[in-house]
Chains A and B, each alone.
Chain A
């Protein structure tokens, strides 16, 4: 016999993601899912952000990597709480991994939880991890056509950080093109050109973070 079903295959992930959202809503923690390709500067941008905002915000990081705890150690050196998840080959974090990692985090008085996803522009966009917003990070050395090539990620991101702008004189990266297509996919996307190395443009990103923390607290 034919059994009609129509069930979302990723429902288990979505269910745990909803559970995580409820925990974060109750504790008023802003949760950001940071997604980019490998080497675009996710960890360096986090290090800079954690260091600069340490005096005013309490932040923690869940680090997702296929192997090694290098990133968690780098992040922990800033003084922020850091938990490493090793996916052992999987190309993305899912909500059950984040739920498990949460047991190692002290959530008291936490303002922001960053989830640094596995470096990959495709799969992480498909798996929610209880976040308020996805943040996509694109570095100018990667090429300005990434929003066109990986539309789902940029369509679903609240922010696009264009990193390594200090290298713009040396690469053929058309800022206007990257921004145009990101906006074509997502009218609301906030675009911040930054350099986590020189700190150029980071203030606009910090203002966005402060505003969202405030909004989450008063929600």
Chain B
């Protein structure tokens, strides 16, 4: 449950970017998060709403999209996305289940925003 910390950081980054681009009206914020980032989307939406209540950002739409996990097989280097986030899924090529390298899935970033 570290979504409140994330929401607070997010608000800070948005304010910074608004200022940098000379924007005053924020419409939509788009965040991408990796499946392994231990993020609960509903909790982040709730925390973001709470952090922006009574500020010019109140009511802004927060769009969250998940980035799937991408693994590289420790044995034959085949890249694959495991179902249900299972890091020990047997490689579809050679069947190896252990030691896969995580290529993608730990991200957490503000991708873009719509503003005027």
A residues sitting closer than 8 Å to B (CB atoms) are 1-13, 90-92, 94, 122-123, 125-127, 148, 151-152, 155, 180-181, 183-185, 187
B residues sitting closer than 8 Å to A (CB atoms) are 1-2, 4-6, 9-10, 12-13, 17, 21, 23, 31, 36-38, 87-88, 97-100, 102, 106, 108-116
B36 x A152 contact (CB < 8 A): yes
Q: Name the residue on A nearest B26 (C-beta).
A: A3
Nearest-neighbour CB distance to chain A for B24, whole angstroms, equals: 12
Nearest-neighbour CB distance to chain B for A75, whole angstroms, equals: 25
How many A-B pairs with Cβ below 8 Å?
88
A152 x B17 contact (CB < 8 A): no
A187 and B99 in contact (CB under 8 A), knowing A12-B9, A125-B38?
yes
A4 x B98 contact (CB < 8 A): no
Q: A6: which B residues are within 8 A, CB to CB?
A: 109-112
B9 x A10 contact (CB < 8 A): yes
Nearest-neighbour CB distance to chain B for A191, whole angstroms, equals: 15
Nearest-neighbour CB distance to chain B for A8, whole angstroms, equals: 5
Q: Name the residue on A nearest B99 (C-beta).
A: A184
Partner of A126, one of B2, B13, B21, B110: B2
Q: B9: which A residues are within 8 A, CB to CB?
A: 9-13
Q: Name the residue on A nearest B23 (C-beta).
A: A3
A-B contact pairs, 14 of them (CB 8 A): A3-B112, A4-B111, A4-B112, A90-B2, A91-B2, A92-B5, A122-B2, A123-B2, A125-B38, A180-B98, A181-B98, A184-B87, A184-B99, A187-B99
Cα–Cα distance between A5 and B19 once the two chains are bound (Å): 13
The 4 lowest CB-CB distance pairs between A and B, nearest first, are: A184-B98, A123-B2, A4-B112, A122-B38
B110 x A7 contact (CB < 8 A): yes
Cα–Cα distance between A33 and B31 once the two chains are bound (Å): 28
Q: B110: which A residues are within 8 A, CB to CB?
A: 5-7, 9
A152 x B106 contact (CB < 8 A): yes
A9 x B108 contact (CB < 8 A): yes
Q: A122: which B residues are within 8 A, CB to CB?
A: 2, 38
Q: Name the residue on A nearest B32 (C-beta).
A: A6
Cα–Cα distance between A5 and B13 once the two chains are bound (Å): 10
Q: Name the residue on B nearest A185 (C-beta).
A: B87
Nearest-neighbour CB distance to chain A for B98, whole angstroms, equals: 4
B112 x A10 contact (CB < 8 A): no
Cα–Cα distance between A11 and B10 once the two chains are bound (Å): 10
